[in-house]
């Protein structure tokens, strides 16, 4: 079902993640609630207190679809891998739901802003800031030097030769030159699972289709392909094949 949905988007020319743009609604509304709440409290503007409450209401309504498409993106682009940012975002999203419900109940029928409401708005703001941070880590963490597993490079001819040999022995039958002999429209060298080494490793250990079902690709457990050799294959793909 998820794969079918993304195929439809691809046919109309949309190939980007869905979650990122949808987060603008709840995040923007939380920021708006905090700003309107502060101004209302300073200048005693009742209408701005109601505006802050309306922002919280819209954030609450937008949260569920935002979480749903986030889970879909996670399955589609990261093969459901339990990356650290995912482990942080899921409980933070749950906490945000609780805070928004509390904020809605505090502001309901209220005509003036209270310190309690401002504190809850501030906690919501801190929450969405943390969610945005880990979302950025998820999307961009693999593109900047972050940790050894993602930055170890094939710096010598011997390293490149080792990566080439391992790739030819393990992957080239189905993925010649970084392509895909089974599904030609899904070449390996543009696969979303290459965003980080952790994502790549999680996927080859337990390959899953975007709908969660098994695939024709066999798993590569540690006794068949060590993490060190998987690292060499990964670096060969991202440094050599993706550049070709």
Give phi and psi for 182, each to the nearest 5: -95, -50
**Residue entry with tokens 């941070």:** 133
Output the average pLDDT for the chain. Answer: 85
- Which three-class secondary structure state does DSSP give residue 18? coil
Does residue 9 lie within any of the structural domains? no
Q: Does this model's pTM top 0.85?
A: no
The Cα 197–Cα 178 span in angstroms is 16
Q: What CATH number is attached to the domain comprising 207?
A: 1.10.760.10
pLDDT value of residue 104: 96
Straight-line distance from the first to the last Cα atom of the chain, in angstroms, rounded to the nearest whole number:
33
**Residue entry with tokens 């693999």:** 142
| Whether pLDDT at 143 is above 60 | no
The Cα 151–Cα 114 span in angstroms is 49
149: confidence class by pLDDT, cuts 50, 70, 90: very low
pLDDT value of residue 181: 77
Asked if residues 126 and 211 have their Cβ atoms less than 8 Å apart, the reply is: no
DSSP assignment, residue 214?
B
Residues 129 and 170 reside in one and the same domain: no
Q: Which helix (H) or strand (E) holds 35?
A: helix 24-43
The Cα 23–Cα 29 span in angstroms is 10
Does residue 131 lie within any of the structural domains? yes
Residues 139 and 21 reside in one and the same domain: yes
> What would the pLDDT profile of 50-60 be if each residue is shown by its tens digit?
999 999 999 99
Residues 20 and 117 reside in one and the same domain: yes
Residues 25 and 135 reside in one and the same domain: yes
pLDDT value of residue 216: 80
- Look at residues 122, 143, 164 and tell me which one is the last residue of a structural domain: 143
- Look at residues 109, 143, 177 and tell me which one is the last residue of a structural domain: 143
152: confidence class by pLDDT, cuts 50, 70, 90: low
The Cα 203–Cα 198 span in angstroms is 9
Domain containing residue 190:
148-241
% of the chain at pLDDT higher than 70: 87
Asked if residues 66 and 132 have their Cβ atoms less than 8 Å apart, the reply is: no
Residues 81 and 197 reside in one and the same domain: no
Q: Which range, of 38-42, 117-121, 189-193, 213-217, averages the lowest pLDDT?
A: 213-217
- Which three-class secondary structure state does DSSP give residue 238? helix
SS3 content of the chain, % helix, strand, coil (to 5): 70, 0, 30
Highest mean pLDDT among 29-33, 144-148, 160-164, 215-219: 29-33
How many independent structural domains does the chain possess? 2
Say which residue, 156 or 18, is predicted with more confidence. 18
- Which three-class secondary structure state does DSSP give residue 208? strand
- Taking each helix axis from N to C end, the angle separating 24-43 and 115-140, rounded to the nearest 10 degrees, works out to 150
| Whether pLDDT at 156 is above 70 | no
Asked if residues 175 and 217 have their Cβ atoms less than 8 Å apart, the reply is: no
Query: What's the average model confidence in pLDDT over 139-153?
Result: 47
- Look at residues 113, 143, 173 and tell me which one is the last residue of a structural domain: 143
Quick one: 40 exposed, middle or buried, by C-beta within 10 A (0-12, 13-18, 19+)? Answer: buried
> What would the pLDDT profile of 69-100 be if each residue is shown by its tens digit?
999 888 776 666 677 888 899 999 999 999 99
> What would the pLDDT profile of 175-234 be if each residue is shown by its tens digit?
988 888 777 788 888 888 888 888 899 999 988 776 566 778 888 999 989 999 999 999
145: confidence class by pLDDT, cuts 50, 70, 90: very low
């Amino acid at each position: 079902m998820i794969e079918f949905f993304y195929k439809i988007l691809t046919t109309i020319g949309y190939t980007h993640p869905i979650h990122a743009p949808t987060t603008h609604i709840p995040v923007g509304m939380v920021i708006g609630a905090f700003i309107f709440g502060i101004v209302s409290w300073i200048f005693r503007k009742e209408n701005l207190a109601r505006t802050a409450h309306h922002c919280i209401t819209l954030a609450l309504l937008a949260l569920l679809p935002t979480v749903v498409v986030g889970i879909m993106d996670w399955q589609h682009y990261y093969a459901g891998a339990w990356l650290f940012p995912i482990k942080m975002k899921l409980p933070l999203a749950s906490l945000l739901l609780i805070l928004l419900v509390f904020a809605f109940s505090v502001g309901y029928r209220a005509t003036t802003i209270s310190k309690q409401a401002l504190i809850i708005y501030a906690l919501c703001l801190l929450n969405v800031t943390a969610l945005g941070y880990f979302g950025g880590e998820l999307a961009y963490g693999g593109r900047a030097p972050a940790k050894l597993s993602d930055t170890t490079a094939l710096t010598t001819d011997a390293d490149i030769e080792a990566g080439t040999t391992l790739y030819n022995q393990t992957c080239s039958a189905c993925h010649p030159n970084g392509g895909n002999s089974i599904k030609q429209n899904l070449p390996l060298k543009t696969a979303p699972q290459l965003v980080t080494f952790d994502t790549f490793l999680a996927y080859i250990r337990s390959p899953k289709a975007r709908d969660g079902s098994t695939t024709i690709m066999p798993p590569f457990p540690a006794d068949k392909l060590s993490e060190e050799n998987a690292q060499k294959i990964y670096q060969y793909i991202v440094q050599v094949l993706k550049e070709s």
